[in-house]
Structure 1
């Protein structure tokens, strides 16, 4: 590519900064063996989260930006507050973060307890189901008690209901005849939502298995953990080729996968020439297969009829995304692991101090 890629400056953006803070905080746990680097990541995360929480800078990052708003419109930022605060608590042990993550204002403003089906779908714009599952992990493994228990219990309950919504028997979402849940209501690029939901479902099962919990309730119905694992497995199997098209939607996996992926680097030949922004369009519009396989990329996927067209110019079918691949890789790790029996219960909590909950305040004196 031989053209400028301008960088934009955001003077506000609680959603973007909150998500970046969560990413850096999580990375600091991954790299905690490298003390200097881990501390650098934490410093960056806390700086970003301070920016995100600045009351004077709470306009969504995309508001009024013609290059962002039509394509990556953010619908809110209180979910990123919950997400960022949870990861920062795990990374630092600073209880001000868990106090924020369990502050009743966050679920109220994010509508976390409204049981709106769309809010049970994890995506780049909606961190609620992931954030509540992350905080459910704290309740399951550490049981911090008062003063966090009431809110953590609510997050745990909503997480269970979210998992119920993924099961076909409860008819919350439509499904294709080929067996793919339609988490984005039949709109294009469905697989990124499916992969992320499969990951959360499998991880919830890991938590249950690690604590010898056989299942959970969906209303009066007891659902075994294996049922939820089967949901996650079926969705990933669909992505990998067990579908009416007999097509693997993961580039390079299997014998039949997309060859016209909507990706500039994969579609332009390595001919020692530099192409301008518009100069690459002739390769985008070509009907020839990509000269390079972007191995491991998951494409947008089929439409609601299970049909898929391997066409580079239609990004709804063939565009890969980081948001989708992240969920797919995470789901594969969970599904091919030990089933939760040897899940690492400690590393994520290594910075969390012991919980010695104070006694709740005494009741008011009795008056006759």
Structure 2
């Protein structure tokens, strides 16, 4: 229950990411605009990207389209006595708090969406999507700018949640929280590494210098996460600020593998693949956890890593393909294996708060895995039935 409030906030952003994905992937089969059953997915794509402009913190650019928003949080980091520049980034839905852990995950997911489906987006929307990614990464770079610490949050969430006001008018405390060697936060650092690595590929063709900066910074964030292992929720001061809103319920181990997987994809460096192979078992890669979201990366990790195996580039990663297949089979009602619960109307249902965060993130993985399978001869063996990419796309479309 404690996780339900922030999960509601975050699910809005994840929902928009999956709408971007389903909108863009639709163009592979239908010309723009793709409009079926009364749903204009091109319009949804445009609106979902525009949403992020309404969440911007800091000094807004001249080409800001959400003109009803003004500058806010321009002295973040400095006014709180921390003496650092933490202007920018995104507010967390209706809050005026900048939570670094879920913000980094949002940036990772936006980047992944652009990487997989950006070529199918209209040019202008692809540019707006990249701008949304950059607004996140510009801020994340600032959180890494000072040696020995990573800034993970701006704003006192308890006082902020008691006062509903526009960010332009906020007068609540802009408390700054950071992780360090003495009070580690591997999940924050690992997700930041994943976000910067994924984003580096978004900008590789258009701004190579910026892409290299992102990748270098991602490596530093990952080294920090791995060298100083621990969860920020184990520290009393950080727990007071981050919990129960975005407490690390699942542990930091999955973020280490997640960060390594994105660094492997972005850099092609075998070192990160070896890291996954050498540390996978101890970090829980073999755990049967069929979830994906801001706190739990397991299912997404399996889908991401399986790409190399499906493409025949890393046969040693077969176990991740098998885990991804197992996850997919839980989503197929006709499968003979145990599968996820559905509502009478056919929506994915997982007991607990904020069900839509599961629906949206799982739908994204369905679309992405379908894309990987399309480029190969692989299918998913779910006991009595064999499942192909068309089935996965149809399942994702039903959820959206």
- What is the TM-score when the length of structure 1 is the normalising length? 0.57
Q: Deviations over 1:279-310 (max 9, x none)?
A: xxxxxxxxxxxxxxxxxxxxxxxxxxxxxxxx
The aligned counterpart of 2:219 is 46
Q: What pairs up with 1:115-264 in 2 under 5 angstroms?
A: 115=288, 119-144=289-314, 149-150=315-316, 152-170=317-335, 171-183=338-350, 185=351, 187-213=352-378, 215-236=379-400
Alignment match of 2:240 (pick from 66, 76, 81): 66
The aligned counterpart of 1:76 is 251
Query: Alignment partner of 1:102: what SS?
Result: helix
Alignment match of 1:2 (pick from 170, 173, 198): 170
Query: Alignment partner of 1:109: what SS?
Result: coil
The aligned counterpart of 2:210 is 37
Structure 2 distance, partners of 1:197, 1:88, is 22
Higher helix share: 2
Query: In the alignment, is the contact (CA less than 8 A) between 2:230 and 2:252 conserved in 1?
Result: no
Query: In the alignment, is the contact (CA less than 8 A) between 1:62 and 1:72 conserved in 2?
Result: no
Query: In the alignment, is the contact (CA less than 8 A) between 2:257 and 2:283 conserved in 1?
Result: no
The aligned counterpart of 1:113 is 286
Structure 2 distance, partners of 1:89, 1:48, is 14
Structure 1 distance, partners of 2:240, 2:297, is 24
Structure 2 distance, partners of 1:174, 1:93, is 38
Q: What pairs up with 1:237-316 in 2 under 5 angstroms?
A: none
The aligned counterpart of 2:275 is 100
TM superposition shift of 1:38 = 1.0
Q: Deviations over 1:69-106 (max 9, x none)?
A: 22212121221111111111222222111111222x32
Alignment match of 1:24 (pick from 178, 181, 196): 196
Structure 1 distance, partners of 2:329, 2:210, is 40
Instruction: Give the total of aligned pairs.
Output: 221
TM superposition shift of 1:108 = 4.1
Structure 1 distance, partners of 2:340, 2:268, is 38
TM superposition shift of 1:153 = 0.4
Higher alpha-carbon Rg? 1
Change in Cα spacing, 1:73 to 1:123, as seen in structure 2 (3 Å) is: same
Ranges in structure 2 where 5+ consecutive residues have no aligned partner:
1-168
Structure 2 distance, partners of 1:106, 1:164, is 22
Structure 1 distance, partners of 2:313, 2:361, is 26
Query: Alignment partner of 1:130: what SS?
Result: helix
TM superposition shift of 1:212 = 4.2
Higher strand share: 2
RMSD (Å) for aligned C-alpha atoms: 1.7
Structure 1 distance, partners of 2:190, 2:283, is 15
Structure 2 distance, partners of 1:90, 1:174, is 33
Query: In the alignment, is the contact (CA less than 8 A) between 1:22 and 1:83 conserved in 2?
Result: yes
Q: Deviations over 1:296-328 (max 9, x none)?
A: xxxxxxxxxxxxxxxxxxxxxxxxxxxxxxxxx
Structure 2 distance, partners of 1:109, 1:94, is 20
Ranges in structure 1 where 5+ consecutive residues have no aligned partner:
237-368
- What is the TM-score when the length of structure 2 is the normalising length? 0.52
TM superposition shift of 1:199 = 0.9
Query: In the alignment, is the contact (CA less than 8 A) between 2:370 and 2:388 conserved in 1?
Result: no
TM superposition shift of 1:10 = 1.3
Query: In the alignment, is the contact (CA less than 8 A) between 1:78 and 1:106 conserved in 2?
Result: no
Change in Cα spacing, 1:77 to 1:106, as seen in structure 2 (3 Å) is: farther
